[in-house]
Amino acid sequence: MIYPGQRPLGYLALADLLRDQITDGQLRPGARLPSERDLAQTYGVAAKTARAALMQLRQEGLAWAVVGYGVVVRETVEPVRVAIGPDDEMTARPPTPSEREQHEMPEGVPLLVVIHPDGTQSLYPAHLYRLTARPD
């Protein structure tokens, strides 16, 4: 809630508040986040600000939209570590729609691409994998 003399929240500050509720367990995986309207009323922000805060959490992979239900806290997943060789190159890019569907990737999560010396590529969703350099 905004009080006289207090600066209004921006969408990043509102996303921070919601993120804190997720990380400290107040909002558990599967829990529905407050609607844009509820956030706007509770925190005295515009609906556009509330929408942007929810989108921020979706882009970070902390939440996802369920059609007809709302925005829900995602299950946390411990990333798998993958060692890449010294001659491998790594880059990141947005996934194609079919790659996003195939890997069940949240919006805003990049695809990590490892290009091997022979030209083949390995694809890793950034929310599920951490790439580490393998020693020579």
End-to-end CA distance of the chain: 55
- With cut-offs at 50, 70 and 90, classify the pLDDT of residue 7: low
Instruction: Indicate if 36 and 69 belong to the same structural domain.
Output: yes
135 has pLDDT over 80: no
Dihedral over Cα of 32, 38, 39, 43: its sign: negative
Instruction: Indicate if 68 and 84 belong to the same structural domain.
Output: no
CB 58 within 8 A of CB 107: yes
CB 64 within 8 A of CB 105: no
Task: Taking residues 61-86, report their average pLDDT.
Answer: 88
pLDDT at 77: 76
- Nearest CA to 29 out of 64, 67, 78 is that of 64
Cβ contacts of residue 77 below 8 Å, gap of 6+?
127, 128
- With cut-offs at 50, 70 and 90, classify the pLDDT of residue 5: low
85 has pLDDT over 60: yes
What pLDDT, in 10s, does the model give residues 19-73?
999 999 999 999 999 999 999 999 999 999 999 999 999 888 888 888 889 999 9
| Tally of CA atoms within 13 A in the half-sphere of 123 that contains its CB | 13
- Nearest CA to 9 out of 34, 39, 43, 54 is that of 43
Neighbours of 33 (CB within 10 A): 23
Parent domain of 33: 11-73
118 has pLDDT over 60: yes
Read off the pTM. 0.65
Q: Residue 1 domain-assigned? A: no
Instruction: Indicate if 91 and 129 belong to the same structural domain.
Output: yes
Instruction: Indicate if 68 and 88 belong to the same structural domain.
Output: no
Q: Residue 41 domain-assigned? A: yes
Instruction: Indicate if 88 and 69 belong to the same structural domain.
Output: no
Domain count, the chain: 2
pLDDT at 59: 82
87 has pLDDT over 80: yes
Cα separation of 109 and 107, whole Å?
6
- The residue out of 50, 73, 96 marking a domain boundary is 73
Instruction: Indicate if 91 and 106 belong to the same structural domain.
Output: yes
